[in-house]
Structure 1
């Protein structure tokens, strides 16, 4: 399987943070590449991107001021396969990335991603009251995975809220 490299540079408007690469992403080396993953569609339908990008066009996100990374680099079929030790180690690496690259918004693509990173039991979608890295807003989205049972309309609501936040 191919490594899935970060799409990242300093001072991004939004750095999207996923759990870890799925198997299809690991096969292709591209983020959110699963056939049922809604990430790219949600970006477009919310107005965050002017057209629907394909996973292989992910590097174009940089031109919009967006990037992608994961809390854990190891691919798996489902996030439930990630161990606590992997989350702890990945969280240290992620904290360094955030401190180094300083995006305006750290956007967690999944409640569980933020729950593990922030070590909080109760997490809701939207802008978080506290930031893990001072000066960087934390925003939580529902996971765009096809395994997530949240409706597309509910997911889209949170992507639109993210767009409103970043357009201020």
Structure 2
């Protein structure tokens, strides 16, 4: 399986961060490509993008000052397949990316992703009280995976809050 390339640039408004690419993302080479993944619908419904994008249009996020990366680059069927060693290496790589590219907001697509990054329990969605990298705000949205039990409307609230941070 091939890795899915980052969509990243300096001084982004938002850098979205996932666990790792799923199998469909690896097969297509595009982020959040799973058929049941809600990421693209949430971006459009919240007003973060002016239209609904398809995963193969993920590069267009740079137009609005957004990017995407993952805490672990290796694709897998499920995040449960990621090893402790991969997370450890991924944390350091991600910290380096945040320091180098300096997005305004690091938006973690799921509580679990953020928990793996900062290694602390008791995480909730929304703006986090502490920045893990100086000058970069940490924000957590519910996982857009189709496996999540959180209703679309409840997820949308956090994407709308995120939009309010960058306006």
Q: How big is the shift at 1:82?
A: 1.2
**1:101 alignment counterpart:** 101
Is the CA contact 1:2–1:28 (under 8 Å) kept in the aligned structure 2? no
The Cα RMSD (Å) is 0.7
TM-score (structure 2 length as normaliser): 0.98
TM-score (structure 1 length as normaliser): 0.98
Q: Output one character per residue of 1:71-128: Cα deviation in whole Å (capped at 9) or x when no partner.
A: 0011111112112211111000000000000000000001001001011111000000
Please state if 1:45 is matched with 2:48: no
SS at match of 1:95: helix
Is the CA contact 1:9–1:101 (under 8 Å) kept in the aligned structure 2? yes
SS at match of 1:98: helix
**2:77 alignment counterpart:** 77
Gaps spanning 5+ residues in structure 1: where? none
**1:113 alignment counterpart:** 113
Question: Aligned equivalents of 1:24 and 1:76: distance in 2?
Answer: 9
Q: Output one character per residue of 1:26-63: Cα deviation in whole Å (capped at 9) or x when no partner.
A: 00010000000000000000000000011110100001
**2:19 alignment counterpart:** 19
Runs (4 or more) in structure 1 with deviation over 6 Å come to: none
Number of positions where the alignment pairs a residue of Structure 1 with one of Structure 2: 167
Question: Aligned equivalents of 1:81 and 1:152: distance in 2?
Answer: 26
**1:145 alignment counterpart:** 145
